């Protein structure tokens, strides 16, 4: 088999499997593991896959920190659909936490309370959106401002959360890896998110389908810490099966 055709087959296999080991690829294509490693090196250099611990992955699993303005332009329709589904989970006279990120911005835009809603938020954008409705009682967390996300982090934010209890935490993430957990790109944000988890009775993760299989720099928590995941219709069947296997409630926004 010529190299070009073999590499095309590798990518075709990865599109179906999402991740596969060097040994399995060698067996499937009837070549040596040395040949497969050379192929994977070339494909990685061409940014067509990512190599990690003896296996190939169809996407680079590591997320990097983007500005909120850049993120707002990504998966706009999917995020809006996720935000609409998340807003349906808010009940009468609810008390909730909303973390930071563009997916929770979509949630904030879809909240239309006909009752009193108490919201604690780390995001300046979320607070600004919700401030347009007088039925929202907003507690803006204080601390150091992250310019990339227009949200706050630090000890002052955590102190408020230590003395409060909330029914739900709505949190956006930069990555969900079923072995490593759910993550963000900033360690300070991860620490604040961990305090939010401790203060909430239910953790609801809002993540478009591109976030699965990726990792940010800082771990927020384990998969077992999540109660509900809301994602879009682009989620793969493999991810759906993994979510169900972990006993997490899955909502797919159409």
Task: Give domain limits for the chain.
Answer: 3-57, 68-253
Q: Could you give the CA distance from residue 193 to residue 132 in angstroms, rounded to a whole number?
A: 25
Q: Could you give the CA distance from residue 50 to residue 96 in angstroms, rounded to a whole number?
A: 38
Q: What is the pLDDT of residue 1?
A: 66
Instruction: Name which of 88, 162, 91 is nearest 120 in CA terms.
Output: 162
Token pair listed for 160: 């408020």
- pTM above the 0.95 mark? no
Say if CB 119 and CB 96 are below 8 A apart. yes
Q: What is the pLDDT of residue 57?
A: 80
Q: What is the pLDDT of residue 249?
A: 97
Relative to beta strand 55-57, strand 19-21 is antiparallel
Run of H or E residues at 98 = strand 95-98
- Please list, in sequence order, all residues whose beta carbon lies within 8 angstroms of the beta carbon of residue 197, skipping any fewer than 6 positions away: 169, 203, 220, 221, 225
Q: Could you give the CA distance from residue 236 to residue 207 in angstroms, rounded to a whole number?
A: 13
Whole-number percent of the chain with pLDDT over 90? 59
Q: Could you give the CA distance from residue 27 to residue 146 in angstroms, rounded to a whole number?
A: 48
Crossing angle of helices 3-17 and 22-29, rounded to 10°? 120
Sheet with 55-57, side-by-side order of all strands: 19-21, 55-57, 50-52
Q: What is the pLDDT of residue 11?
A: 85
Listed as ranges, residues in the chain with pLDDT below 70 are 1, 18, 58-74
**Residue 121, strand partner residues:** 98, 140
Three-state secondary-structure class, residue 182: strand
Fold of the domain built from segment(s) 68-253:
Rossmann fold (3.40.50)
Say if CB 19 and CB 58 are below 8 A apart. yes
User: Domain 3-57 carries which CATH code?
Assistant: 1.10.10.10
Three-state secondary-structure class, residue 188: helix
Q: What is the pLDDT of residue 118?
A: 96
Instruction: Name which of 48, 150, 130, 37 is nearest 83 in CA terms.
Output: 130
Q: What is the pLDDT of residue 54?
A: 80
- Please list, in sequence order, all residues whose beta carbon lies within 8 angstroms of the beta carbon of residue 231, skipping any fewer than 6 positions away: 82, 206, 207, 208, 209, 211, 212, 250, 251, 252, 253
Q: What is the pLDDT of residue 60?
A: 58
> How far is C-alpha 203 from the chain's CA centre?
13
Q: What is the pLDDT of residue 119?
A: 97
Average pLDDT, whole number, for the chain?
Answer: 89
> How far is C-alpha 67 from the chain's CA centre?
16
Q: Could you give the CA distance from residue 173 to residue 113 in angstroms, rounded to a whole number?
A: 25
């Amino acid at each position: 088999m010529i190299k070009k055709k073999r590499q095309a087959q590798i990518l075709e296999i990865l599109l179906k499997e999402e991740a596969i080991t060097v040994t399995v690829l060698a067996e499937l294509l009837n070549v040596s593991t040395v040949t497969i490693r050379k192929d994977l090196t070339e494909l990685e250099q061409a940014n067509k896959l990512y190599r990690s611990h003896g296996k190939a992955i169809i996407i680079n699993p590591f997320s990097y920190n983007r500005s909120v303005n850049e993120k707002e332009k990504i998966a706009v329709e999917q995020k809006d659909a996720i935000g609409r589904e998340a807003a349906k989970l808010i009940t009468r006279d609810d008390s909730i936490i909303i973390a930071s990120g563009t997916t929770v911005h979509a949630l904030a835009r879809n909240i239309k309370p006909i009752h009193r809603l108490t919201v604690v938020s780390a995001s300046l954008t979320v607070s600004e959106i919700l401030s347009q409705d007088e039925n929202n009682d907003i507690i803006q967390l204080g601390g150091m401002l992250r310019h990339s996300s227009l949200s706050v982090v630090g000890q002052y934010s955590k102190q408020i959360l230590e003395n409060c209890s909330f029914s739900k935490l709505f949190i956006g993430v930069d990555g969900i890896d079923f072995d490593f957990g759910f993550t963000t790109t900033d360690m300070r944000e991860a620490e604040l998110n961990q305090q939010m988890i401790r203060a909430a009775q239910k953790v609801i993760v809002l993540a478009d389908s591109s976030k699965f299989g990726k990792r940010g720099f800082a771990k927020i928590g384990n998969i077992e810490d999540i109660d509900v995941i809301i994602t879009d219709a682009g989620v793969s069947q493999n991810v759906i099966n993994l979510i169900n296997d972990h006993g997490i409630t899955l909502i797919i926004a159409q």
